[in-house]
Amino acid sequence: MRTFFLTTCLLFCHLTIVAQQTDDRFISYVTTPGAVALYWKDDKGLPLRSLQNLKQYIEKKGKKLAFGMNAGMYRPDSSPQGLFIDNGTIRQPLDTLSGGGNFYMKPNGVFYTTTGHHAGVRTTPRFTPHDTITFATQSGPMLLIDGAIHPAFKKGSANLNIRNGVGILPDGKVLFAMSKEPVNFYDFAQFFLSKGCSNALYLDGFVSRTYLPAQDWKQLDGNFGVMIGVAE
């Protein structure tokens, strides 16, 4: 019996260490849906582009940026690729076309929040814009679909990159994450799965940046389209 308990303890400790090592590859942030906003342009209609500019924009309004991250993919002129809903207004329509690159790796999807302080991640075919949506950004591919890792992802893939994404936790809160080091799609999706997400969306790759001063992570550069912000 003593040997059994010792073996069980050693196994538990080993799994805990492995989990901690895995988590150390990512920086993550959890928040309520109502705290999330998407930003593209300043009050003069000029693209904000960087987290530094977003931070200054928020501060001019008498608040501070608690969390910032690039959102969905964008074109060279910083305009959103695919759907972008800004405070209930559709700035760019849903993109249901086919093409090359990560955005068009089907199924792609949409992250959105609603006026009822709900957040969701849905595949593009399952998503319908409606008047209760506050913010939305489209990107691709989906990382998790109904609790399963995207079928195109391969365990052990050598396709490594810095990556960021968003998932919905079982309690309805929003989980944002970015890898601190290059990882493949499978491992990135596995991170969201390990946190209990059923659906998660890839946002972007090597360009990704995160500003999270509470965890002493302060990347303020970048040249983005839409960005995610939580202001306090």
* Domain extent listing, the chain: 26-231
pLDDT at residue number 192: 98
pLDDT at residue number 199: 98
Indicate whether 21 pLDDT > 80: no
Band of pLDDT at residue 111, cut at 50, 70 and 90 = very high
pLDDT at residue number 12: 40
Sign of CA dihedral 63, 64, 68, 74: positive
Strand order in the sheet with 148-149: 26-31, 174-179, 164-168, 200-204, 142-145, 148-149
pLDDT digits (tens, 9 = 90+) for 191-231: 999 999 999 999 999 999 999 999 999 999 999 999 999 99
Indicate whether 10 pLDDT > 50: no
CB 194 within 8 A of CB 51: no
For 190, the enclosing helix (H) or strand (E) is: helix 185-194
- Mean pLDDT in the chain? 92
pLDDT digits (tens, 9 = 90+) for 32-67: 999 999 999 999 999 999 999 999 999 999 999 999
DSSP label of 188: H
pLDDT at residue number 230: 98
For the entire predicted model, the pTM comes to 0.90
DSSP label of 124: G
Task: Count CB atoms within 10 A of the CB of residue 28.
Answer: 16
pLDDT at residue number 11: 41
Mean pLDDT in residue range 113-142: 97
CA gap 121, 174 in Å, rounded = 10
3-state secondary structure of 42: coil
